[in-house]
A and B are shown apart, each in its own frame.
Chain A
Amino acid sequence: MSRPRERRTNRPTRWWSGAGLAAMAALPVLVLGVFFVLPVAGMVGRGFFSSGSLDVGGVLEVLGRPRVHRVVWFTVWSSTAATALTVGLGLPVTYVLHRLRFPGRRLLRGFVLMPFVMPTVVVGVAFRTLLTPTGLLGGLHLDGTPVAIIAAMVFFNLAVVVRTVGALWEGVDRRREEAAAALGASPVQVLRTVTLPALLPGIVAAAGIVFLFCATSFGIVLTLGGLRYSTVETEIYLLTTQFLDLRAASALSVLQLVVVALLLYVAQRTGSGDPQVLDRTAERESSRRPRRGDASAVLVTAVVLLFLAAPLGTLVLRSLHRGGGWTLANYRALTTRGEGGALLVPVSQALDNSWRVAVDATLLAMVLGILVAAVVSARPGGRLGRRALAVLDGVFMLPLGVSAVTLGFGFLITLDRPPLDLRSSAYLVPIAQALVALPLVVRTLAPVLRSVDPRQRQAAASLGASPVRVALTVDLPALWRPLLAATGFAFAVSLGEFGATSFLARPERPTLPVEIYQLVSRPGEQNVGMALAASVVLGVLTAGVMVLVERLRTPPVGRW
């Protein structure tokens, strides 16, 4: 590898110097402090100070309960298994969709993203329609088993791996792999010694995100587990919303935070301790037509795509069905307020709201994400500086690891008086969604930024380029594709977000997932049909946006 030996090259350039970094980090840190740390601390504080004084013994008692141990163990093993599967299946799919050239590739990339935005309630219905004894896959007897839960986790999160790793993989120069092969390395050796090391930061970033999504998923655990399995997240939900046992909920929230912090620490050690400098290349050279050697990857991809298509297909079929016949009535009804006026505003209007909120949330997530990614991918000289950046990097992942219920209730009890009387503010929804999208943006951009050879920036600077010009000519060409990928991703996160949004959305301005949830929980065949149709629209819309974003891709500005 071409990792520079000289100490000099690891020293910061003037642009990345400490003060500048701190200034860039200030805004994201402030937003995170007000809209994440404050509410969560407020909620956890309520539980700890239950009777006016700090009650550590009570909290420890909760953590000693056998039920809590069971719950933690199930959370850890199911999320680990789901993460391993998602990464294992996701990498071949990423390879096929981002390194091979074939017709329809862009459509498939959009398709892979569809599950990611599907509302959990509806996917739960789709999965269970397949898995109940009368369903297509009823013979497998998977309804109400951990297998069903894990399968749904993989279904939702595959897009994270394909997107995050794909953005990095596309930029990797194929010639290095070909050189290794020419020197006699077997395909497996090439994969192990050349390709995977180059992708490792991206893979670790994706795995971290997937794990957090899995560990905090609660809709699918309740729906598909038939109430027999509990995760830390479902437990916090029940303790808060049903038992009002804030002490126990707080204890579990703290446990969640500690586990997430530990996980991030481990990921930090494996993933980005030794940033790889990559030779970059234009897409034209990085992808090629499939060959015989790609057969196994193509086969895995085909199977995975079928696995994604089955529940989606169920949804589409059921959305086209009403009163025993085939019809588009469910789609036509989307301009109404549902059977018996189930909704406050028609679905079409909710779609419009979703769209507007998504634009705001995406912009916010991108502004914050670029700042954070630029800061955390800097290479400060001192050990302390590196530590500080590592901590900062982890801190922005935390919103993914904390229960939406804790955060939602926290908003209610902390942002309720001046100067922060924001409880009923319409801004909260895009802000909350941006916080969820932020880690994905950072994790898409940071590995790429770290892989840019610092000597290029130094060379440009020494030739007299201003910092802005350095960013434009060195960083932007490498970052162009990942930026688009991250934008699309943030957009998708916003369109699909339900947990925090359901707490914060103002009733007269619901988003599409919020309305879908309302429709599903009300009687009437039309309401259910409308919920399914609205989900299909949501999925197709998201996939469509992704395909369009891909079209925006222009050849990189500069080459070297």
Chain B
Amino acid sequence: MSTSLRRAALAAATASIAMVSACAVGGGAGSDATSAARAKTVVVATHDSWAMSKSVLKQFTARTGYSVRVQPNGDVGQLTNKLVLTKGSPIADMTYGIDNTFASRAVDEGVLATYRPGRQAASATAYRLHDPAEAAALTPVDYGDVCVNADDVWFRKHHLAPPRTLDDLLRPAYKNLFVTPGAATSSPGLAFLLATIARYGDGWPAYWQKLMANGTKLTSGWSDAYDVDFTAGGGHGDRPLVLSYASSPPFTIPKGGDRPTTSSLLQTCFRQVEYAGVLKGAADPAGAKAFIDFMTQKAFQRELPDNMYVYPVDDRVALPTLWKKYAQTAAHPFTVPPATIAKNRDRWLRQWGDITSR
């Protein structure tokens, strides 16, 4: 950029800012992100599903003096790609929510600094990434199972046994009953595609052709599938099988009832593990590390189910009663190594797009 251009840009910025401040009579736009306040704030770039009770975050502030500023950035894909694009000028100090489907991209692109908390529960080691470089940068915080869910009431009413496996979904008895968010537009959708890839290997395109031929409906997002097409969702749709989470059934306990009307098919699940990591070039790496430590401790782990509907990696933490009863996770979930996902994701998604758009 030439000097005159830069000067012009500066003048432009000053002029527009002056003007904007002059007309900000609504008063809502006051910037309070001063450098002094930022010094003791950890900025966490995360996905839109972030939720955490204020009291837990206050505990962290009481312990460390840091306050937490959460910055939601769309879904996991958007989050990861934003971090990649802003590499060298990071938008936050740390990130939480990158999962095993995007871990390799974040690590390969050099977005993350290495950090591993000193002590983590023994059960957490099972969720560590296998690749040493990835394991050094990303700390597992929680996991969840993406599974097909069935409307048990509907199946009882139609005197039909619900399916149990991915194979079952191809049976004529279940024609036109299944709805799933698409793999290209939804992270649970991608997880389901990966479940089929884990199950059928190179034969997955053939499976999907049959699945589509059996009347599977695709939606753009999870909420669209669950809230519009699913028979047990708010929209009272016409499909009793939906792709959702192992933690979804407790949400369908009717008012005054004590049992959910839906259940998840535990032989169809893909396991998503979510990680936290320090961003390279973070303004406050010490704060980031402190918060990652805190995320692996009981006070935070305990709150995960009720706030984010995921399971803590620390198995010493008790799950909510309803979860123990109705939100079990899969004993043998499907997984695909993150490196394999990173290498093939684009090709798989394009192939999947060709199959499903006919």
Binding site for B on A (CB under 8 A): 27, 30-31, 33-35, 38, 46, 121, 124-125, 128-129, 132-134, 144, 222-223, 226-228, 238, 240-245, 318, 321, 323-324, 340-344, 352-353, 355-360, 363-364, 367, 409, 412-413, 416-417, 419-420, 422-427, 429-431, 502, 506-509, 517-518, 520-525, 528-529
B81 touches A244 (CB 8 A): yes
What CA separation (Å) do A417 and B1 show in the bound complex? Answer: 14
Q: Which positions 14-58 of chain B face chain A at CB distance < 8 Å?
A: 14-17, 19-21, 23-31, 33, 48-49, 51-53
Which residues in A have their C-beta under 8 angstroms from that of B306? Answer: 340
Instruction: Judge whether B17 and A427 touch: CB under 8 Å.
Output: yes
- Complex Cα–Cα for A317 and B75 (A): 30
Q: Mark B76-92, 1 if CB is under 8 A from A, else 0.
A: 01100110111001010
Which of A132, A228, A341, A502 touches B235 (beta carbons < 8 Å)?
A132
Is the beta-carbon distance between B86 and A132 smaller than 8 angstroms? no
B28, A34: Cβ atoms closer than 8 Å = no
Cα(A430)–Cα(B26), bound, Å? 11
| Interface of A (DSSP majority class) | helix
In whole angstroms, how far apart are the Cα atoms of A33 and B12 in the complex?
A: 8
29 cross-chain CB contacts under 8 A: A33-B12, A124-B224, A128-B229, A133-B238, A134-B238, A223-B221, A227-B185, A227-B220, A228-B357, A241-B78, A242-B349, A244-B84, A324-B254, A341-B51, A356-B28, A358-B26, A360-B24, A360-B29, A364-B20, A420-B9, A422-B13, A423-B91, A424-B33, A425-B31, A426-B30, A427-B20, A427-B21, A430-B24, A523-B244
* Given A27-B15, A524-B251: A357 touches B78 (CB 8 Å cut-off): no
CA distance A133 to B177 in the complex (A): 12
B26 near A355: Cβ-Cβ < 8 Å:
yes
Are B16's CB and A416's CB within 8 A?
A: no
Annotate B157-194 by CB proximity to A: 1 below 8 A, 0 otherwise.
00000000000000000000000001011000000000
Closest to B54 in A: A341
Contact check, A227 vs B356: say whether CB atoms are below 8 A apart.
yes
Partner of B72, one of A227, A507, A509: A507
With A359-B26, A360-B26, A429-B29 as known contacts, state yes or no: A416 contacts B77, CB within 8 Å.
no
| B71, closest chain A residue (CB) | A507
- In the complex, what residue of chain B is closest to A240 when comparing beta carbons? B81
Residues in B whose Cβ lies below 8 Å from that of A240: 81
Point out the residues of chain A lying under 8 angstroms from B248, CB to CB: 523
A133 to B236, CA, bound (A): 11
Q: Smallest Cβ distance from B247 to chain A, in angstroms?
A: 8
Determine how close the nearest CB of chain A comes to the CB of B30; give it in whole angstroms: 7
Q: Given the interface contacts A412-B91, A419-B10, does A242 sit within 8 Å of B25 by beta carbon?
A: no
Q: Are B235 and A508 in contact (CB under 8 A)?
A: no
Residue ID in chain B nearest A238 by CB atoms: B184
Chain A residues, CB < 8 A from B11: 30
A226 touching B52 by the CB < 8 A rule? no
Task: Out of B15, B26, B185, B254, name the residue touching A30 (CB < 8 Å).
Answer: B15
Q: Judge whether B86 and A412 touch: CB under 8 Å.
A: yes
Per-position binary interface string of chain B over residues 319-358, scored 1 when its CB falls under 8 Å from any chain A CB and 0 otherwise: 0000000000000000000000000001001000000111
Shortest CB distance B301–A (Å) = 16
CA of A38 to CA of B8, assembled, Å:
12
Complex-state Cα separation, A240 to B358, whole angstroms: 23
Do B235 and A34 touch (CB < 8 A)?
Answer: no
Complex Cα–Cα for A341 and B245 (A)? 19
Q: B48, A521: Cβ atoms under 8 Å?
A: yes
Instruction: Report the 9 A-B pairs with minimum CB-CB distance, sorted nearest first.
Output: A356-B28, A359-B26, A356-B26, A222-B220, A30-B12, A323-B255, A363-B23, A227-B182, A134-B238
Kindly state the separation between the CA atoms of A499 and B306 in the bound complex, as whole angstroms.
30
In the complex the two chains form, is B16's CB within 8 Å of A359's CB?
no
**A240 CA / B220 CA spacing, docked (Å):** 16
Residues of B within 8 A of A523 (CB): 226, 244-245, 247-248, 251, 309
Query: Nearest Cβ distance between residue B148 and chain A, in whole angstroms?
Result: 15
B20, chain A: closest CB distance, angstroms:
5
CB-defined contacts of B72 to chain A, threshold 8 Å: 507, 518
B136 contacts partner chain A, Cβ-Cβ < 8 Å: no
Q: Is the CB of B229 within 8 A of A34?
A: no
Query: CA A324 – CA B256 in complex, angstroms?
Result: 11
**Contact A431 to B48, CB < 8 A, known contacts A128-B235, A226-B218, A507-B72:** no
Would A340 and B309 count as touching, CB distance under 8 A? yes
Contact, CB under 8 Å: B224 / A125: yes
What is the bound-complex CA distance between A426 and B30, given in angstroms?
7
Closest chain A residue, CB of each to CB of B305: A340
A431 to B309, CA, bound (A): 36
| Chain A: minimal CB distance from B188 (Å) | 11
CB distance from A43 to the nearest CB of B (A): 9
CB distance from A204 to the nearest CB of B (A): 30
Binding site for A on B (CB under 8 A): 6, 9-17, 19-21, 23-31, 33, 48-49, 51-53, 69-72, 74-75, 77-78, 81-82, 84-86, 89, 91, 105, 182, 184-185, 217-224, 226-229, 234-238, 244-245, 247-248, 251, 254-255, 306-307, 309, 346, 349, 356-358
A128 and B12 form a contact (CB under 8 A)? no
CA distance A33 to B11 in the complex (A): 11
Chain B, Cβ-Cβ closest to A529: B234
Given A129-B235, A223-B220, A521-B222, do A38 and B229 touch, yes or no (CB 8 Å)?
no
Residue of B nearest to A222 (CB): B220
Question: B143 CB to closest chain A CB, in angstroms?
Answer: 17
Minimum distance in angstroms from B160 CB to a CB of chain A: 18
- Measured CB to CB, the nearest residue on chain B to A225 is B220
Measured in the bound complex, the distance between the Cα atoms of B22 and A360 in whole Å is: 10
Least Cβ distance of A498 to chain B in Å?
Answer: 12
Contact of B70 with A507 in the complex, beta carbons under 8 Å: yes
The smallest beta-carbon distance between A420 and chain B, in angstroms, is 5
Q: Compute how far the CA of A341 lies from the CA of B17 in the bound complex, rounded to whole angstroms.
A: 35
Question: Assuming the A-B contacts A223-B220, A508-B69, are A357 and B185 also in contact, with contact meaning beta carbons closer than 8 angstroms in the complex?
Answer: no
Point out the residue from B30, B237, B309 that lies within 8 Å of A132, measured CB to CB: B237
Set A35, A144, A412: member contacting B82, Cβ < 8 A:
A412
Complex: how many Å from CA A523 to CA B262? 14
User: Which residues of B have CB within 8 Å of A429?
Assistant: 29
- By a CB distance below 8 angstroms, the chain B residues around A222 are 185, 220-221
List A contacts of B26 (CB < 8 A): 355-360
17 new A-B contacts, CB < 8 A, other than A30-B15, A227-B356, A508-B69, are A30-B12, A121-B223, A223-B219, A227-B220, A242-B81, A340-B309, A356-B29, A358-B26, A359-B28, A360-B24, A360-B25, A363-B25, A364-B20, A367-B23, A413-B89, A521-B223, A522-B49
Question: Considering residues B9, B81, B235, B245, which has the most beta carbons from chain A within 10 angstroms of its beta carbon?
Answer: B235
Do the beta carbons of A242 and B28 come within 8 Å of each other? no
Q: Which residues from B are CB-within-8-Å of A35?
A: 16
Write out the residue numbers on chain B whose beta carbons fall within 8 Å of the beta carbon of A324.
254-255
The chain B residue with its CB closest to the CB of A420 is B13
- Distance of A148 Cα from B262 Cα, bound (Å): 30
Q: Is the CB of A226 within 8 A of B217?
A: yes
A529 to B235, CA, bound (A): 11
B28 touches A427 (CB 8 A): no
B49, B69, B86, B217: the one within 8 Å of A521 (CB): B49
Beyond A27-B15, A38-B9, A419-B10, is A364–B23 a contact (Cβ under 8 Å)?
Answer: yes
Residues of B within 8 A of A129 (CB): 228, 235
Instruction: From known contacts A227-B184, A356-B27, infer whether A242 and B20 are also in contact, taking CB-CB under 8 Å.
Output: no
Task: Report how far A317 CA is from B122 CA in the complex, Å.
Answer: 50
Find chain B residues with CB under 8 A from A242 CB. 77, 81, 184-185, 349
Q: Are B238 and A132 in contact (CB under 8 A)?
A: yes
Question: B20, B235, B349: which contacts A125 (Cβ < 8 A)?
Answer: B235
